[in-house]
């Protein structure tokens, strides 16, 4: 099923990844349906616009609740197992590619402000292929989360990673952008870096993040650090170059100490105790070697995983009028 992009009103698909969201999914579905109905009545979007919920291998009743509520304008995809937020998001975008004019990705907790979606659609109608939802402030976050976010954006800018500060995965993508994205087959997906790297006409819409109505965020500090590490190693080889530079500096320092020891041996004839400096050197060099091996291992591990070319996700069940697609 392929839609035409010649219609007056855009056919909007909203892709919503879900993982163990039984506490909020019904409220989220009702809220989204209310907004879709109002936007259709206001002639902002096409009458056939819909939401697509992607169950990322939930272990609770999320899928049962989705299946019970699925209708013409509410569709659901169940992945065979948990593959992670970025892959589930990809599954929703792939589904939307041939069924819509544009797609907005949205988290199931609805903390992203739905009221700015009409503004996103306005930017899209003006010719923007990508519209980023950017947080106007992070006052609702804890201090450690703000510190981590600001540090990461600073580091990403320094090492040349394309990205939009304070933008997560709340964005609008045109069908052209979706067609390009559908060709990506990276195992380590990082949409916050991939989408800006497309260099398509874009705009930003600023909003204030809302409080979560129930349940807990699935993005723990550990998962955020993992996502950040994935972003760095997927888009930059600067860490490897940093190891080379650091090794060069340490070699110069070591050469200086070698020269100093030789001088002392032949000219000073002083007895050097040296145990403290020796142990410090051993610990420092040992830690540096382990750190360097860890960074190198991250890149080697990515090469190993990418070389397998396994499916990014497998659709177990799809609730709509079309048959499930093959594994992507």
How many helices (H) and strands (E) would you count in the chain? 10, 8
Q: What is the pLDDT of residues 268-314, one digit of tens each?
A: 655 556 655 675 677 677 767 777 777 777 777 777 667 767 677 77
User: What band does 93 get if pLDDT is binned at 50, 70 and 90?
Assistant: very high
Query: 254-283: string of b/e by CB count within 10 Å (b at 16+)?
Result: eeeeeeeeeeeeeeeeeeeeeeeeeeeeee
pLDDT digits (tens, 9 = 90+) for 171-218: 999 999 999 998 887 877 888 888 988 989 999 999 988 776 655 655
What are the φ and ψ backbone dihedral angles of 314, each rounded to 5 degrees? -125, 125
Residue in the structure block whose two tokens are 């993508």: 173
The rounded distance, in Å, linking the Cα atoms of 25 and 5 is: 31
pLDDT tens column, 291-303: 777 777 777 777 7
**E strands along the chain, which residues?**
12-18, 50-55, 74-79, 102-105, 130-135, 167-174, 202-207, 315-319
**Cα angle for residues 71, 75, 77 (degrees, 5° grid):** 140
Query: pLDDT tens digits for 104-141?
Result: 999 998 889 999 999 999 999 999 999 999 988 877 67
- Helices 275-308 and 221-235: angle between axes, nearest 10 degrees: 80
H or E stretch at 120 = helix 117-125
Around 236, how many Cα atoms within 13 Å sit in the side-chain half-sphere? 20
């Amino acid at each position: 099923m392929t839609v035409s992009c010649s219609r007056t009103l855009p056919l909007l698909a909203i892709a919503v990844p879900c993982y163990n969201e039984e506490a909020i999914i019904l409220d989220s579905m009702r809220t989204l349906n209310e907004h879709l109905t109002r936007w259709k009545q206001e002639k902002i979007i096409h009458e056939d616009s819909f939401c697509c919920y992607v169950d990322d291998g939930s272990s609770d009743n999320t899928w049962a609740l989705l299946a019970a509520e699925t209708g013409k304008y509410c569709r659901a995809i169940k992945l065979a197992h948990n593959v992670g937020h970025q892959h589930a998001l990809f599954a929703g975008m792939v589904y939307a590619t041939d069924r819509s004019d544009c797609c907005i990705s949205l988290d199931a907790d609805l903390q992203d402000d739905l009221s700015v979606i009409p503004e996103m659609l306005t930017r899209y109608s003006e010719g923007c292929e990508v519209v980023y939802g950017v947080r106007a402030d992070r006052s609702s976050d804890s201090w450690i989360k703000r510190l981590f976010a600001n540090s990461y954006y600073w580091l990403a800018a320094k090492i040349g990673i394309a990205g939009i500060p304070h933008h997560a995965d709340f964005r609008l993508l045109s069908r052209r952008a979706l067609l390009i994205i559908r060709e990506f087959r990276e195992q380590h997906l990082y949409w916050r870096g991939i989408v800006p790297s497309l260099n398509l006409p874009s705009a930003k819409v600023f909003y204030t993040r809302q409080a979560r109505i129930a349940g807990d965020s699935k993005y723990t500090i550990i998962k955020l650090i993992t996502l950040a590490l994935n972003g760095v190693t997927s888009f930059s080889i600067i860490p490897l170059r940093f190891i080379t530079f650091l090794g060069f500096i340490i070699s110069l320092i070591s050469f200086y100490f070698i020269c100093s020891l030789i001088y002392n041996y032949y000219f000073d004839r002083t007895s050097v105790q040296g145990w403290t400096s020796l142990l410090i050197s051993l610990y420092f060099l040992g830690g540096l070697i382990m750190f360097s091996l860890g960074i190198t291992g991250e890149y080697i591990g990515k090469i190993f995983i990418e070389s397998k070319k396994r499916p990014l996700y497998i659709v177990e069940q799809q609730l709509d009028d079309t048959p499930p697609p093959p594994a992507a």
